Amino acid sequence: MNTATFGTAEFVSNAYDTSNFEKLGRLLLPARVVLEQRAIRDGNHFDKDAAALGTDQDDPLAESIGRRWKKSKANEMPEWEEPLSSHRGPVIRIIRQEEIDEYAAVLTSQPHDDNYHKSIAMLRALMPLGELRKLYRRPLEWKAKLNRLEARFPHFAELLQHVRACCALSERADLDTITLDNIILCGPPGLGKTYFAEFLAQFLRDEAATKKTLTIRMADQQSNSAIAGSDSFWSNSKPSLIFEELILKEYGNPIIVLDELDKASGDNRFDPISPLYTLWEKASAENWKDLSFPWVTIDASRITWIATCNTTRTLPEPILSRAQVFNIVAPTEDEAIGVAEIIAWESLQEYLPGDPVEFSDGAIKALSMLSPRRQRAAIKSALGTVALRQGDVVYAADIPGAASSASIGFI
């Protein structure tokens, strides 16, 4: 196997079968954790084999998991595998085999505690996955794709220029991947920040654009567990969404969207954004640890972070210093109309491909007063209205909410 190293990324030659990751996607680790804790709590309700595995014989899910693991003793570890050993393309060493082997040796030689079965389950999941994860490549035809993205989102031109510069730098350095700064999109509601973030994520994933973007709605977070995990001290601890994205999935440079970063709330001990002090700093992100599995050192330095907010006034200065803030303003009247025309055409191709339905100037103007996300819903409703009357023109009156819109520009 021929490899070359650049920073934390390794480049390995040949082809790769993703079946291991597809199988891993079906692992029910959170359910296992619950079952293990139930085993500890209700020990008399389990037979000897099931108790060793943390499975409830009366629970069909537990019984299924138990059948999977009864084939080996609880303290036996599978062999390390490397599914990406022959992959043609850029990869990253996401975990360290030697560190995990050391922990496994200590774990299996000590008395079992409450976290034993959970750790055993994770060790068995890690080893078949190996140390490496793939990296998303620099998008093909990135210049043309960014031009199309800017035509659809003209008010994000400054950010898209940053993306162009990063792509050009990667191309000139003859690298396969690109690295963006941590990004904060700041602006009032209704400008399509979250909507745009998903399109940017699709661009960055390129050939894997159909994969879902991990979006964490920070307004819903009362603690840092979604990003940092919950401490292994707690009996119901579970890994963070970041851990699952890096360890249990295929790519080591995922795009993660933190929606409404300024709306996060929590006390000082469990501040939802506190993990970003580590994860948004390259040197510390290379050696990141989830609170639920602190014995696994993870390279989280290649994550692309895109955060949205309405204001930066409530965000700590150290967080702002770790990111590039792009202030988004409402599009001009002409820009808003141009965006509405693009969305109308795309929606028509989606719902009525080949149909001769047209949008009147009044309908486009009415659409331009709505945010991009609301435009798609309004167009679907309008096309349904046209179909009901067996017409072939969408008028302003067909656009839901058009009568209440008072000014040009997204609202």
pLDDT tens per residue, range 247-267: 999 999 999 999 999 998 766
C-alpha 290/C-alpha 238 separation (Å) is: 9
Indicate if the pLDDT at residue 74 is higher than 50: no
341 part of a folded domain: yes
Quick one: 182 and 223 in the same domain?
yes
> What b-and-e string marks burial along 56-84, b requiring 16 or more CB atoms within 10 Å of the CB?
beebeebeebbeebeeeebeebeeeebbb
409 part of a folded domain: no
Please tell me the predicted confidence (pLDDT) of residue 271.
86
pLDDT tens for each residue of 195-215: 899 999 999 998 787 888 999
Quick one: 177 and 314 in the same domain?
yes
Last residue of a domain, one of 307, 327, 347: 327
Indicate if the pLDDT at residue 55 is higher than 80: no
DSSP secondary structure letter of residue 302: T
Last residue of a domain, one of 268, 298, 327: 327
Helix residue spans in 111-192 (DSSP H): 116-129, 142-152, 157-172
C-alpha 320/C-alpha 277 separation (Å) is: 10
C-alpha 213/C-alpha 220 separation (Å) is: 18
Please tell me the predicted confidence (pLDDT) of residue 99.
94
Q: Which domain holds residue 185?
A: 142-327
How many domains does the chain fold into? Answer: 3
Q: Which whole-number Å values give the CA distances from 289 to 8, 204, 239, 275, 300, in the listed order?
A: 16, 26, 10, 10, 9
410 part of a folded domain: no
Quick one: 182 and 214 in the same domain?
yes
Kindly indicate the confidence band of residue 409, based on its pLDDT and cuts at 50, 70 and 90.
low
204 part of a folded domain: yes
Highest mean pLDDT among 76-90, 340-354, 390-404: 340-354
Please tell me the predicted confidence (pLDDT) of residue 120.
87
357 part of a folded domain: yes
Quick one: 146 and 257 in the same domain?
yes
Quick one: 279 and 260 in the same domain?
yes
Q: How far apart are the first and last CA of the chain?
A: 55
Q: Kindly state the average pLDDT of the residues 369-380.
A: 88
Quick one: 283 and 355 in the same domain?
no
Quick one: 240 and 346 in the same domain?
no
CATH of the domain at 263: 3.40.50.300
Pairwise pLDDT comparison (373 vs 273), residue with the higher score: 273
91 part of a folded domain: yes
C-alpha 308/C-alpha 263 separation (Å) is: 10
Indicate if the pLDDT at residue 115 is higher than 90: no
Last residue of a domain, one of 134, 150, 183: 134
373 part of a folded domain: yes
Quick one: 175 and 78 in the same domain?
no
Indicate if the pLDDT at residue 25 is higher than 70: no
Copy the structure tokens of residue 49.
Answer: 């084999």
| Whole-angstrom Cα Rg for the chain | 25
User: Which residue reads 């302003």 in tokens?
Assistant: 396
Quick one: 50 and 94 in the same domain?
yes
316 part of a folded domain: yes
Highest mean pLDDT among 68-72, 124-128, 181-185: 181-185
Best CA proximity match to 248, nearest among 282, 214, 203: 214
Cα three-residue angle 64-132-92, rounded to 5 degrees: 140
Quick one: 164 and 292 in the same domain?
yes
Quick one: 387 and 312 in the same domain?
no
Tell me, yes or no, if the pTM score tops 0.85.
no
Quick one: 285 and 160 in the same domain?
yes
